[in-house]
Structure 1
C-alpha cells in the first residue's frame, strides 16, 4: 500500500524540469566589437608553390568572405591575465593591462579563444586568414612577389623590396591599445607593430598553367599571422623576431584578436 502511495509522488518528481546550469560570470567586460560585412578579397594562399618544377607564387583569386564580428582591439594584457588566473592559459610576457598582449604563440591564442567561448557560451575563435584580410582592409600587407615575377631572382628581389617598404611602418616599441588608430572598417591597431595569429596554415602545392592553385597540402605546424605583412610562424613560437619565422620577414610582436562567429564554410570564388 505504501508503495502505491509513493508512485504519484515519483511521477510528479520525474515530470519536473531541472533548471539548466548557469554560465559563470564573464571574466571581463564585453569587448568592443566591429561588424565586418561580407565582401570580396583578392586572395592567394601563403606558402611554397611550384609550377613546372620552379618555385612561383600563386596568382591572386577573387574570394567572397561571409560577414562576421571581430574585436575592435587586440586582446589585452588584462584580458589574457584573467585566462591565466583561471588556469586555462599559460603565462606570457608581462605587459600593462591596457596594452595588447604580446609574446603569445598560436597555442596560447587558441587556448584563450576556447576558454573565453566556454566562459561566455559564445562562439569565439581566431579569424580565418581570409577574414583577417577582409577586416584589415587598406592596411592589409603582403610582401610576396606577384605571380608575374617568374624568375626566381626577380621573385626574391621583389619580395625583399616590398618587405623593406612595408617594414618602414613597423615600430618595435610597446604602446597602449588604440595607439595606431583605426582602419576604414573601424578596427584599431591593424598593421601597427603587433602581428595577429590567424588559424590559417602554411600551404605547399602545385600551380595550374594559369597560375591559380591546382593542388595544395596544408602544413599546420606553421600558422599565418597578419600585420604589416603576412608571416608564417611556427605555432609554438612566442617571439619570431629571434627565430621561428618559417617564410619571409619576421614579425616584431605576436598577439591576436578574436572573431565571434561560427566557423564559416570555405570561401567561394
Structure 2
C-alpha cells in the first residue's frame, strides 16, 4: 500500500502522465482498534466562572459510546496521496521517511484529509472528539490540569506548565517528531512521544453552579483540543504550535492526527 501511495504521489508531483495513468488508484487500508463503550472521568477545558470569578471546572463522569480508531498516525505517504489528488494542502514540513507520521498540519488540514479519505474508502471517517481520544489513549493519556485542589486558575496553570515541562522531557527546542515504540493497552501506536494529535473537541465556556454542576455556553471552536502527554488547546489554523498559537496549556511539539471510523 505504501509503495502505491508513494508512486502515485511522485508521479503527480513530477508530472509524468503515463506513469500516473499506469498506476492504479491507491489501495487505502487501515488497521483500526475497537474501543469498547465506557464511562470516564473527564474535565472540560476552557473558561468557567462562578459568581463573576474564574474557576476550575470539576471532573465529570462522561459516557463514551463504542468506536473504531486508527491504530497508527496518518503517515506522510498517506497524506501525500491526498495532496496529489487535490484533496489536501501541502504540509509545511515532511518527515524524512514516508512511513513516519505526517506532522505540521492544522486542524483544517486533518479535517480535509478525513473528508478525502471518506470519499476514497466509501466509509465515513472523522477526527475523534476529546473524550474518545482520552478513552483510546488509556494509560498514555495525560492531563496536566487535574493534580491540584486549587480553584484558582492561575495556580492551576502554573502547575499545568510545570507538570507539562516534566512530561515533555525536552530541555531545549523540540527534537524531531518521534512516536514511542510499542502500543498501549488498546493497541494504538505512536502515543507518548512528542507528537500531539488533533481532536474535534472545542474550547468550552460555562458557569459553575453552587451545587457543583456546570452550565455550558457556546463553545469556542476556533480553538481545538489536542491530546498527547498533556492536553492543550491550539488555534485551528496553526500547523506548528511550538512557535505560537497555543491557546491553553504548554504548546505541543508536533501536531499529527488519526481518524475514527463512523458506524
Residue 144 of structure 1 and its aligned partner are, at CA, apart by 1.6
8 Å contact from structure 2 (residues 206, 217) kept in 1: yes
1:109 and 2:113 matched: no
Correspondences of 1:211-222 after superposition (within 5 Å): 211-222=212-223
Inter-CA distance 174–124: structure 2 relative to 1 (3 Å threshold) = same
1:174 pairs with one of 177, 182, 189:
177
Residue 150 of structure 1 and its aligned partner are, at CA, apart by 1.9
Counterpart of 1:78 in structure 2 is 77
Counterpart of 1:232 in structure 2 is 233
1:191 and 2:161 matched: no
Alpha-carbon distance between aligned partners in 1 of 2:111 and 2:55, rounded to the nearest angstrom: 31
8 Å contact from structure 1 (residues 59, 147) kept in 2: no
8 Å contact from structure 1 (residues 51, 208) kept in 2: yes
Residue 104 of structure 1 and its aligned partner are, at CA, apart by 0.2
- Number of residue pairs the alignment of both structures matches: 236
Counterpart of 1:100 in structure 2 is 101
Greater Rg over alpha carbons, structure? 1
Question: SS in structure 2 opposite 1:217?
Answer: coil
Residue 242 of structure 1 and its aligned partner are, at CA, apart by 0.3
8 Å contact from structure 1 (residues 49, 207) kept in 2: yes
1:156 and 2:162 matched: no
In structure 2, the gaps of 5 or more residues are: 1-23
CA displacement 1:64-83 (0-9 Å, x = unmatched): 11111110000000000000
1:241 and 2:242 matched: yes
Inter-CA distance 188–195: structure 2 relative to 1 (3 Å threshold) = same
RMSD: 1.9
Alpha-carbon distance between aligned partners in 2 of 1:169 and 1:261, rounded to the nearest angstrom: 36
Counterpart of 2:66 in structure 1 is 67
Residue 46 of structure 1 and its aligned partner are, at CA, apart by 1.0
Residue 174 of structure 1 and its aligned partner are, at CA, apart by 2.8
Residue 215 of structure 1 and its aligned partner are, at CA, apart by 2.4
In structure 1, the gaps of 5 or more residues are: 1-24, 263-269
Alpha-carbon distance between aligned partners in 1 of 2:205 and 2:220, rounded to the nearest angstrom: 7
Alpha-carbon distance between aligned partners in 2 of 1:62 and 1:26, rounded to the nearest angstrom: 45
- Normalised by the length of structure 1, the TM-score is 0.82
Question: SS in structure 2 opposite 1:74?
Answer: coil
CA displacement 1:216-267 (0-9 Å, x = unmatched): 32011111111111111111100000010011110000000001114xxxxx
Alpha-carbon distance between aligned partners in 1 of 2:224 and 2:58, rounded to the nearest angstrom: 21
1:57 and 2:60 matched: no
